[in-house]
């Protein structure tokens, strides 16, 4: 008996005891069984909560998809933000309607699951969206972000994802809705424009505003220069808005 030998041969005042035992495991059985763990740790867990509160990030993260059509710079910002400690969102899918989208390559290089659903292969928007919907459901997506996704979505798709479908627009809505918002701002000779993160509704750029940020319009700005300045601001505001929406969804789980 090993325990008896330890007791007899030891000069130490520390008592030897059995901490566990090894048993042969049959196929299909659990490899490790710990009896009374919850009961044994209860007092320590309670003491930790009293001094430190509950662990941040202990709630399940919201499964998020990002839809893109191009390079996906906002996608990159959202993914980087979602990978930080305590994030409320987990990006489980990047989907593009264009085979050549540079953002798909970036996502693959960063081990993010991707899908390509080329809209040109489908006879109408409903057929295209049915395949997109199938991809979203396959990954268990709960929140969808439009990050430079250059397709107008049908009312049925938007309604299905109500309050779970968000977009960013390069203006301070409700000003300069629709296409060429930066060009509209320059033509209006405004001093301030910006970007808006909002929930998507059937009417374009009309959904509830989640977050906004302002960007100064300078006298010598071209459409391209202003667009780049707005885009840098988008990279800050869009990820924060996504995490805010996801955190609200966590509270409803």
Give the number of C-alpha atoms closer than 13 A to the C-alpha of residue 76, restricted to the C-beta side.
13
Q: Is the peptide bond before 34 cis (omega within 30 degrees of 0)?
A: no
For residue 235, indicate whether it is catalytic: no
**Residue 61 phi, psi (nearest 5):** -75, 150
Mention every residue, 6+ apart, whose C-beta is less than 8 A from residue 168.
Answer: 74, 146, 147, 195, 196, 197, 198, 234, 237, 238, 241
Query: What Cα–Cα distance (Å) separates residue 39 from each residue in 18, 42, 44, 76, 107?
Result: 19, 5, 10, 44, 44
Among 52, 169, 198, 235, the one annotated catalytic: 169
186 close to 223: Cβ distance less than 8 angstroms = yes
Query: What Cα–Cα distance (Å) separates residue 128 from each residue in 101, 119, 132, 152, 203?
Result: 17, 6, 7, 11, 20
- Roughly what angle, to the nearest 10 degrees, separates helices 102-109 and 73-82? 20
Residues serving a catalytic function are 169
């Amino acid at each position: 008996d090993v325990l008896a030998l330890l007791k007899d041969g030891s000069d130490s005042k520390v008592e030897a005891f059995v901490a566990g035992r090894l048993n042969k495991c049959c196929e299909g059985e659990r490899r490790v069984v710990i009896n009374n763990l919850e009961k044994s740790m209860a007092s320590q867990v309670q003491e930790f909560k009293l001094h430190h509160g509950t662990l941040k990030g202990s709630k399940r993260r919201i499964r998020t998809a990002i839809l893109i059509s191009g390079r996906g710079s906002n996608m990159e910002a959202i993914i980087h933000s979602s990978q930080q400690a305590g994030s409320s969102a987990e990006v489980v899918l990047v989907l593009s309607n264009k085979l050549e989208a540079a953002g798909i390559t970036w996502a693959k290089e960063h081990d993010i699951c991707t899908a390509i659903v080329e809209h040109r292969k489908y006879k109408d928007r409903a057929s295209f969206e049915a395949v997109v919907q199938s991809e979203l459901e396959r990954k268990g997506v709960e929140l969808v972000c439009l990050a430079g996704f250059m397709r107008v979505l049908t009312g049925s798709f938007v309604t299905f994802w109500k309050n779970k479908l968000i977009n960013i627009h390069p203006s301070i809505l409700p000003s300069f809705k629709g296409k060429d918002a930066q060009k509209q701002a320059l033509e209006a000779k405004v001093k301030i424009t910006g970007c808006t993160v909002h929930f998507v509704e059937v009417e374009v750029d009309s959904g509830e505003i989640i977050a906004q940020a302002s960007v100064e319009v300078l006298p010598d700005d071209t459409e391209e220069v202003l667009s780049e300045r707005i885009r840098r601001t988008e990279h800050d505001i869009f990820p924060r808005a996504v995490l805010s929406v996801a955190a609200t969804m966590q509270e409803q789980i």
